[in-house]
Amino acid sequence: MAESILDSLRAGGKKLTKPRKAILAILEQSSLPITVAEIADQLKKARAAVDLVTVYRNVAMLQELKLVNPVGLHEGQMRYEVCHGREHHHHIQCRGCGQIVDLMLCPLKKLTELVERKTKFAIDGHVLEFFGWCPQCR
C-alpha cells in the first residue's frame, strides 16, 4: 500500500504537531482546492486555534514536499489541494458564483511532448484551468 502523507512527513524529518495534523485533516477532507483563509476558518470552527501564519508555513512546506498542489484561479489568493494519492486533474470555475468543479482529465501528455520538441525545454509542470458560466448562472 502507498505511503500515507504522515509517513511522507516523517520521512522528510517533519514533526507531527497538533496544528499540523489539524491542517492536514482539513486539506484531506476537502475535495476541492481551498484557500489559507478557508483552512483557518475551518480550524476555528473545529475549536483548533491555529495562527494564520502557521497555516501559510505548513501549506508552503507541504508544497515543497509535493504533497499539496497550488491552484491559482486569479482570485487574489491561492488555493491548495492534496495531490498525494490523488489523480492529476484540472478545474473549471464559474465566473458568476465562483463554484469550482473538478475535471477528471488531463489531455496534455502528447502536447507536452510536442512542446518539448519545439522549445527544447524540459517541461515539469503545467497549469490548465477553464472559466465560464455554470448552468445556474448563465
Partner DNA sequence: ATGATAAATGCAACTCACTTGCAACTTGGA
Partner DNA sequence: TCCAAGTTGCAAGTGAGTTGCATTTATCAT
The answer to whether residue 21 forms part of the interface with its own copies (CB under 8 A) is no
Which residue has cell 484531506?
Answer: 28
| Residues 70-109 contacting its own copies, CB under 8 A | 70, 72, 74, 78, 92, 94-95, 101, 103, 107
Q: Which three cell numbers stand for residue 54?
A: 502557521
Nearest to 11 by CA among 87, 59, 67: 67
Residue type, 38: E
Binding mask 73-112 for DNA (x = CB under 7 A): ---xxx----------------------------------
CA distances from 20 to 38, 43, 52, 55, 92 (A): 15, 11, 12, 8, 29
Q: Are 16 and 6 in contact (CB under 8 A)?
A: yes
Chain residues in the site for its own copies (CB under 8 A): 70, 72, 74, 78, 92, 94-95, 101, 103, 107, 111-112, 115-116, 118-135, 138
Q: Which residues contribute to the site for DNA (CB under 7 A)?
A: 10, 13-20, 35-37, 49-54, 56-58, 60-61, 76-78
